[in-house]
């Protein structure tokens, strides 16, 4: 059985030490926000509530502000995006900007994040709950300011099985180097990673996604299952499940906890369409697209690439891995790079014999058949990713969130149920 989740009310009360400032253009919305804060036991003094039209004279007083700035507006106009950028460059590095507004179109969240917002809360009937969740996350993040693990999401463009195979082996290589590695299975329709690692977990990610309270470290660690290689797996569901009671926003908490406890977090994703997947992309430092060397797979890869780059994700943070290479009739590297507009791809040779052996015995390919060409190719790609993250960490956090973290906005282009 899981331990009971920590008391959310207790966490909220502890946030009182954190300053809150509201910038608004709507008396109606600011009342909603004030009421929500009071429900959480928080106070925002009248001196910290500023109308947008009166903001300029007060900008200087915000230079040392390092609390939570709630930007509550009825509609996120273009001029407000410029104001968000000014606020991000004016306020203290530790200040957190949370936008509270309605979602007008697919680009609303993306534009807010790229302009400096750290979080976005839709101005609907769930403002109270979403604001509570956001403040709780911020409280936990401020409590744990240490260097966090790197997040690498694997995105299948053709076959979910390809992503599962690559995820397991990347995690095994990281763990083999005596680095702590969490492997999160977000493929909600199979849970294949448990079979690829021959594990029988007591809990799956669904147990966490259905939690109503805040997920603490003890709760998260109970859901992990450790493989002999050192991989710590958060398993996916074993069968088709009812997703209606799942809370996609909990993914952010799960990944944050995984980062806090591990050097690397590998996320085995399913697609660019489901909210729980997109929460992972929002927290990713790198995205690895898997494909096959044929025209059908290339077409799908281009659609995925176009969707992400249209949302301003830098191509240098998107890595293309072509599995099943080594056949005379496959697409040439030059053709793939030209269509996808990338400078390089990583080819993994086809080796069905070794792959089947590893799958059937439930052991990562790089552990079961380490001297094969396919294992060496995967290891080479893993080294590329690891070296990429060994650059010196800057002393101060960047003023704006990274472009990859803006991937959360892809949800608005992919989810038909977004409100």
CATH number at residue 363: 3.40.50.300
Asked if 218 and 298 sit in the same domain, the reply is: yes
Q: What is the pLDDT of residue 362?
A: 93
pLDDT band at 246 (very low <50, low <70, confident <90, very high): low
Asked if 179 and 301 sit in the same domain, the reply is: yes
Is there a domain that residue 322 lies in? yes
Q: Is the pLDDT of residue 249 over 90?
A: no
Q: Is the pLDDT of residue 328 over 50?
A: yes
Angle at 224 between CA 219 and CA 227, to 5 degrees: 160
Q: What is the pLDDT of residue 251?
A: 76
Domain encompassing residue 21: 8-145
Q: What is the pLDDT of residue 248?
A: 62
Quick one: tokens of 67? 């609390």
Asked if 102 and 220 sit in the same domain, the reply is: no
Q: What is the pLDDT of residue 141?
A: 67
Angle at 237 between CA 248 and CA 258, to 5 degrees: 55
Asked if 270 and 283 sit in the same domain, the reply is: yes
Asked if 185 and 257 sit in the same domain, the reply is: yes
Distance CA 117, CA 110 (A): 9
Length of the chain measured in residues: 419
How do residues 182-229 score in pLDDT, each as one tens digit?
999 988 777 789 999 999 888 888 888 877 767 788 888 989 999 999
Whether the full predicted model's pTM is greater than 0.85, yes or no, is no
Is there a domain that residue 418 lies in? no
Backbone angles phi, psi at 71, to 5 degrees: -100, 90
Q: How many CA atoms, within 13 angstroms, populate the side-chain half-sphere of residue 195?
A: 13
Asked if 98 and 163 sit in the same domain, the reply is: no
Asked if 129 and 221 sit in the same domain, the reply is: no
Q: Is the pLDDT of residue 371 over 80?
A: yes
Asked if 253 and 281 sit in the same domain, the reply is: yes
Instruction: Give the residue-averaged pLDDT of 330-336.
Output: 95
The answer to whether 187 touches 168, Cβ cutoff 8 Å, is no
Asked if 154 and 137 sit in the same domain, the reply is: no
Q: Is the pLDDT of residue 324 over 90?
A: yes
Asked if 233 and 377 sit in the same domain, the reply is: yes
Q: Is the pLDDT of residue 399 over 60?
A: no
85: Cβ–Cβ under 8 A, 6 or more apart, which residues? 115, 116
Asked if 46 and 185 sit in the same domain, the reply is: no
Closest CA to 289 of 197, 169, 166, 150: 166
Instruction: Give the residue-averaged pLDDT of 69-98.
Output: 87
């Amino acid at each position: 059985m899981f331990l009971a989740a920590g008391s959310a009310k207790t966490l909220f009360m502890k946030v009182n030490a954190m300053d809150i400032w509201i910038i608004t253009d709507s008396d109606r919305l600011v009342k909603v926000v004030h009421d929500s804060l009071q429900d959480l036991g928080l106070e925002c003094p009248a001196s910290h509530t500023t109308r947008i039209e009166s903001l300029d004279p007060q900008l200087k007083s915000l230079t040392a502000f390092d609390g939570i700035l709630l930007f509550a507006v009825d509609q996120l106009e273009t001029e407000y995006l410029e104001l968000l950028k000014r606020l991000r460059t004016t306020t203290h590095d530790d200040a957190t900007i949370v936008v509270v507004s309605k979602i007008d179109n697919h680009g609303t969240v993306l534009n807010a994040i790229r302009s400096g917002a750290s979080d976005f809360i839709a101005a609907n009937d769930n403002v109270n709950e979403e604001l509570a969740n956001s403040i709780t996350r911020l409280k936990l993040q401020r409590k744990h300011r240490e260097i966090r693990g790197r997040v690498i999401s694997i995105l299948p463009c053709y076959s979910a099985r390809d992503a599962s195979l690559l995820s397991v082996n990347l995690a095994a290589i990281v763990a083999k180097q005596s680095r702590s590695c969490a492997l999160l299975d977000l493929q909600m329709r199979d849970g294949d990673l448990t079979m690829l690692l021959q594990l029988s977990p007591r809990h799956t990610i669904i147990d966490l996604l259905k939690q109503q309270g805040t997920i603490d470290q003890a709760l998260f660690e109970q859901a992990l299952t450790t493989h002999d290689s050192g991989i710590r797996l958060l398993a996916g569901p074993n069968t088709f499940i009812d997703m209606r009671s799942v809370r996609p926003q909990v993914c952010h908490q799960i990944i944050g906890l995984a980062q806090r406890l591990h050097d690397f977090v590998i996320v085995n994703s399913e697609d660019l369409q489901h909210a729980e997947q997109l929460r992972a992309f929002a927290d990713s430092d790198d995205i690895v697209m898997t494909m096959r060397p044929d025209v059908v797979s290339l077409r799908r890869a281009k659609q995925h690439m176009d969707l992400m780059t249209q949302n301003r994700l830098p191509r240098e943070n998107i890595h293309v891995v072509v599995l099943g290479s080594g056949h005379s009739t496959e697409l040439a590297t030059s053709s793939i790079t030209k269509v996808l507009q990338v400078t390089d791809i990583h080819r993994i040779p086809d080796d069905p014999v070794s792959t089947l052996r590893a799958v059937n015995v439930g052991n990562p390919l790089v552990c079961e058949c380490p001297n094969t060409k396919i294992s060496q190719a995967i290891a080479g790609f893993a080294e590329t990713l690891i070296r990429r993250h060994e650059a010196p960490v800057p002393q101060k956090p960047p003023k704006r969130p990274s472009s990859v973290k803006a991937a959360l906005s892809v949800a608005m282009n992919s989810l038909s149920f977004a409100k």
